[in-house]
Amino acid sequence: MSFGTTMYVIMENENNFQLNANQPVSPIRENEETLWDSIKEWIQVIIVALIIALPIRWYVAEPFIVNGASMDPTFATGQFLVVDRLTYRFENPHRGDVIVFEYPNDPSTYYIKRIIGLPGETVNINDGKITIVNKEHPAGLLLDEPYLSDEHLSHDTSSKTLSSTEYFVLGDNRAQSSDSRFWGPLDKHFIIGRPIMRLLPITTLSLWPGQESQ
């Protein structure tokens, strides 16, 4: 097998090997052995490729395609994302991070939302405006959300206090997003990772798309 370099075959006794006339070489047999050798070689290549690629996909990066309008105008249906699965193994998510996660009510379904509330905080929503209550801001911090557009705002009102492992996530299209307002906080163990690259369409190519840490 060759990986871009010349492969040399070393043959023993080429010059003095005597072929027994009573045992002629069979071209069919030779072809069968050559074909089987090629098949075995490709099987080995595939196995090695899987050994390398699968851990990368499971633990480092994984491709996703956006489907739905819940993150408009930040992300649109059909956009191809590469999601970093590694970072959150070493650090906690931040407010403003866009994350991909397993939907708690159906872990076989993946959602993409933005983190609004962090563990231990209280998230207050009043007519669509969000105030965060925590140790640093006991009187409340009114969030500035530059990623929202006027046409995607909502006017709901609610309040939720998060546990030590919970996050409050919302879609950027507040009027059309199924998120923590409806099915509750997101436990950390459901988080897969964060988009590190938007590849397609090529006109939207970008690194760390949608990130707005606060």
* Residue pLDDT, tens place only, 90-145: 999 999 999 999 999 999 999 999 999 999 999 999 999 999 999 999 999 999 99
Catalytic residues: 70, 113
Residue 81 scores a pLDDT above 60: yes
Is the confidence at residue 23, as pLDDT, over 50? no
User: Looking at residue 29, what is its pLDDT?
Assistant: 52
The pLDDT, as a whole number, for residue 199 is 85
Task: Tell me the mean pLDDT in the region 39-50.
Answer: 62
- Spatial separation of the C-alpha atoms in residues 41 and 62, rounded to whole Å: 28
Tell me the whole-structure pTM to 2 decimals: 0.72
Distance of alpha carbon 9 from its chain centroid, rounded?
A: 44
Half-sphere exposure of 210 (CA within 13 A, CB side): 29
Judge whether residue 3 has pLDDT over 50.
Answer: no
Helices (H), the chain: 27-59, 180-183
The whole-number pLDDT of residue 127 equals: 93
Contacts of 32 (CB under 8 A, 6+ apart): none
Give the tens place of pLDDT for each residue, 137-191.
999 999 999 999 888 999 999 999 999 999 999 999 999 999 999 999 999 999 9
Residue 204 pLDDT greater than 60, yes or no: yes
**Whether pLDDT at 54 is above 90:** no
CA 161 from chain centre, in angstroms, equals 28
* Interatomic CA distance for residues 186 and 97, integer angstroms: 14
Which of 6-10, 84-88, 152-156 has the least mean pLDDT? 6-10
pLDDT at 57: 52
The residue among 47 and 179 whose pLDDT is bigger is: 179
Which CATH architecture describes the domain 63-207? Answer: Ribbon (2.10)
